[in-house]
Structure 1
Amino acid sequence: MRIRLLHILLFSVSLSLFGQRKDENNVIKTDTIASNKNYQLIAIPIAFYTPETDFGFGGGGQLFFLSEKNRYKNRLSNILFSGIYTLNEQIILEVTPQVYLGSGDYFIDAHYLLEVYPNLFWGIGNNTPDANEEVYNQTTHALNIAFLKRLPSNLNFGFQFTYKNHEVTEVESNGLLDTGSITGSNSAIIVGLGAVFNYDTRDNTGSPNKGYYYQAKAQFASKILGSSNQFNKFILDLREYLPVGKKSLLAFQLYSESNFGDVPFQALASYGGGNRARGYFFGRFLDKNMYVSQTEYRWRFKPRWTINAFALAGEVAEKPEDFFNIKNIKSSLGLGVRFKIFKDKDTWLRFDYGQGVQGNSGIYFGINEAF
């Protein structure tokens, strides 16, 4: 999603604003709305900035179940909920339960989303001109539920159910979406099942200092399940974090996505955004296939300050064989600054600027690393 960084941002900002202390079980505590030995409920303010939303703000909360802990990663079962309004007149409501069962041997990862979202569309393809830009409004209800089983060390495997209802409520007259020739231009219902496999040795998820993260997903949307379109999606996400001396590291990511079948534009691979292709508006380029490769150097010149420099390249295409034409590659260079919020916790404020080609650029403010 456009602002997936919120799942990290919510909890981190709440800690920084409400103060913190630790109890004997190493559970971080804040000023709470309600708490007892079995649960803790905290209130959370939210603030962020992305090119897709402009400034966003709102509030929410996080309910921790103190007795349901993952013994492998020392993480608690919790339910995160938020309501957000942006200066681009977007409304976003989210509920994210994350539940560990069997002391971490099983994991339920769910997410419900309601978006009332004015957005931009340039068409489909790797070379859509800026002149194509048009505004459309869309209301989305989305539900994802994944059930994962821990396998031998650092491996996880499971299944995922996906439901998304995209209702396009307004388009520009005589625009591309108004013609009705774009699949999903009126609405799209996506219902499907999928499989997830990952290998994760990172020391932490928000700002890793070392380790590997390899994930593969296969998702299948079917009319038999109620989907308006039938298609398959395959995602590969490979990340490595290699220390360089005591104060710096190199981070690498290769992300690829492939779609096959009758794919609505809402489900196409989307190039851009604050995580995979900084310097480009999320969804500036859309198509069935996409790859992004990015490298980032991170230098911690002081214990709580880091400077980052990144470079990336990628593109979208209808067919994989259309990749790697040097004229079509969308590259970006950028710089960033990080500040560690707590001395003893790897949670970082992030500010990035990315400069792409053909006048594309973006400023990003949020929490933790892009990948």
Structure 2
Amino acid sequence: MKNLILYSCILLITFQVFSQRKDENNLVKTDTISNTKNHQLIAIPIAFYTPETGFGFGGGGQLFFLNKKNTFKNRLSNVLFSGIYTLNEQLMFEITPQIYLGKGDYFIDAHYLLEIYPNSFWGIGNNTPDTNEEVYKQTTHAVNISFLKRLPPDLNFGFQFIFKNHEVTEIKENGILDTQNIIGRKRTVVAGLGAVFNYDTRDNVGSPNKGFYYQAKAQFSSEIFGATKGFNKFILDLREYLPIGDKSLLAFQLYSENNFGNIPFQSLASYGGGSRARGYFFGRYLDKQMYVSQIEYRWRFKPRWTLASFLLAGEVANKPEDFFSIKNIKPSYGLGARYKLFKNKDTWLRFDFGKGKDENSGIYFGINEAF
């Protein structure tokens, strides 16, 4: 494990030196494949590590439209595409267009995903035992298209179209998915509309030093649009970044998700992962309701080096009134380090270790902050 992590770090640092990435404000000018007055195409090698995937690697590119720009946030329209393979035999292909119109007053944010993904399942609920773990295989096609309107100076509001087709191709014989009537255990389609509202004053997106980010989403999957089951999903994501002196800050996040209706297990709230609940496998606990609250202290002891420590708690439940029983809360704590890859750009290499309840733990290696 130590050798794999070290090898991954060396690969990613090497890839970053000879590749080009876009941060929230500027472009890192390195490996440009094509460049004209109207567009710029770059190559992006990829390497990462998470408990859910193991070591992952691949590549892609990013096409920037130099004449279509958000003049208020100094961000360029672009299309990001990538293909990734992991040592857990997972295959992912993604295309993400982000197009600004009217100098940034309007924004199209879209995403397509093809995923062939062996994954783990423990059942549904906040207290599923580790011995329940079973592996299933699934192929997913997903499309998400958002159209947002800027409401000066820092508000954005818009609508979404959502489509996901989950095809479960292999399950464990006599396992939970085989013997229990779990919605989505064979095939499920999620299709419907949503609304998005956010307030964003962060100084940058990948590694904020100050500001606020408040987002609310409402999504509605309906048989009218071709969904196999109808349900509603409501998400609230609140973040604050408070500087402490010149070299450190406290970052806070409160995330809640509430689902109502007949929800396939693929769309249930998922506890764990490298962003919201480090120390737990993503999807280790699934249910209709979830909250996660976390605090992180970040100390930039050198211009390009940061140390971090974090503490979090949360849980899933079938109903909101089942929350806050002390024995059901899933806490986690951990430490991490970040290294700024480029002197004048806010692109950070992140390494975290999180320790959760019981035997749960995780090592996370990737780009930029968890939140």
Q: TM-score, normalised by structure 1?
A: 0.94
Q: What letter is aligned with 2:93? A: L
Rounded Cα–Cα distance in structure 1 between residues aligned with 2:76 and 2:18: 20
Q: Secondary structure at the match of 2:280?
A: coil
| Change in CA separation of 1:20 and 1:142 when aligned onto 2, cut-off 3 Å | closer
1:140 alignment counterpart? 140
Rounded Cα–Cα distance in structure 1 between residues aligned with 2:337 and 2:180: 44
Q: Secondary structure at the match of 2:326?
A: coil
1:191–1:221 Cα contact (<8 Å) kept: yes
Q: What letter is aligned with 1:233? A: K
Matches within 5 A, 1:1-371: 16-18=16-18, 27-371=27-371
2:20–2:42 Cα contact (<8 Å) kept: no
**CA shift for structure 1 position 235:** 0.1
**CA shift for structure 1 position 196:** 0.1
Rounded Cα–Cα distance in structure 1 between residues aligned with 2:174 and 2:223: 30
**CA shift for structure 1 position 244:** 0.6
Q: Deviations over 1:2-33 (max 9, x none)?
A: xxxxxxxxxx97983226799xx965422222
1:14–1:43 Cα contact (<8 Å) kept: no
Rounded Cα–Cα distance in structure 1 between residues aligned with 2:81 and 2:19: 20
1:9 alignment counterpart? none
**CA shift for structure 1 position 289:** 0.1
**CA shift for structure 1 position 180:** 4.6
Q: Secondary structure at the match of 2:178?
A: helix
Q: Secondary structure at the match of 1:43?
A: strand
Q: What letter is aligned with 1:57? A: F
Structure 1: gaps of 5 or more residues? 1-11
1:13–1:45 Cα contact (<8 Å) kept: no
Rounded Cα–Cα distance in structure 2 between residues aligned with 1:189 and 1:169: 15
Structure 2: gaps of 5 or more residues? 1-11
Rounded Cα–Cα distance in structure 2 between residues aligned with 1:184 and 1:357: 28
Rounded Cα–Cα distance in structure 1 between residues aligned with 2:191 and 2:21: 43
**CA shift for structure 1 position 43:** 1.1
Rounded Cα–Cα distance in structure 1 between residues aligned with 2:21 and 2:227: 48
1:3 alignment counterpart? none
Rounded Cα–Cα distance in structure 2 between residues aligned with 1:325 and 1:252: 22
Q: What letter is aligned with 2:353? A: Y
Q: What letter is aligned with 1:109? A: D
1:14–1:44 Cα contact (<8 Å) kept: no
Q: Deviations over 1:285-327 (max 9, x none)?
A: 0000000000000000111000000000000000000000000
Rounded Cα–Cα distance in structure 2 between residues aligned with 1:166 and 1:73: 36
Q: TM-score, normalised by structure 2?
A: 0.94
Rounded Cα–Cα distance in structure 1 between residues aligned with 2:31 and 2:47: 19
Q: What letter is aligned with 1:370? A: A
Rounded Cα–Cα distance in structure 1 between residues aligned with 2:165 and 2:30: 37
Rounded Cα–Cα distance in structure 2 between residues aligned with 1:361 and 1:15: 28
2:59–2:82 Cα contact (<8 Å) kept: yes
Q: Secondary structure at the match of 1:29?
A: coil
**CA shift for structure 1 position 179:** 1.7
Rounded Cα–Cα distance in structure 1 between residues aligned with 2:87 and 2:292: 29
Q: Deviations over 1:150-186 (max 9, x none)?
A: 0021000000000000000000000000125101000
Q: Secondary structure at the match of 1:278?
A: coil
**CA shift for structure 1 position 41:** 0.7
Rounded Cα–Cα distance in structure 2 between residues aligned with 1:20 and 1:144: 26
**CA shift for structure 1 position 34:** 1.4
More displaced stretch, 341-350 vs 316-325: 341-350
Q: Secondary structure at the match of 1:185?
A: coil
| Change in CA separation of 1:21 and 1:153 when aligned onto 2, cut-off 3 Å | closer
Rounded Cα–Cα distance in structure 1 between residues aligned with 2:273 and 2:21: 35
| Change in CA separation of 1:259 and 1:334 when aligned onto 2, cut-off 3 Å | same
Rounded Cα–Cα distance in structure 2 between residues aligned with 1:193 and 1:345: 36
1:198–1:215 Cα contact (<8 Å) kept: yes
| Change in CA separation of 1:13 and 1:153 when aligned onto 2, cut-off 3 Å | farther
Q: What letter is aligned with 2:146? A: A
Rounded Cα–Cα distance in structure 2 between residues aligned with 1:311 and 1:20: 33
| Change in CA separation of 1:14 and 1:142 when aligned onto 2, cut-off 3 Å | farther
Q: Secondary structure at the match of 2:328?
A: coil
Instruction: Give the 4+ runs in structure 1 shifted more than 6 A.
Output: 12-15, 19-22
For this pair of structures, how many residues does the alignment match? 358
Rounded Cα–Cα distance in structure 2 between residues aligned with 1:97 and 1:21: 15
| Change in CA separation of 1:315 and 1:31 when aligned onto 2, cut-off 3 Å | same
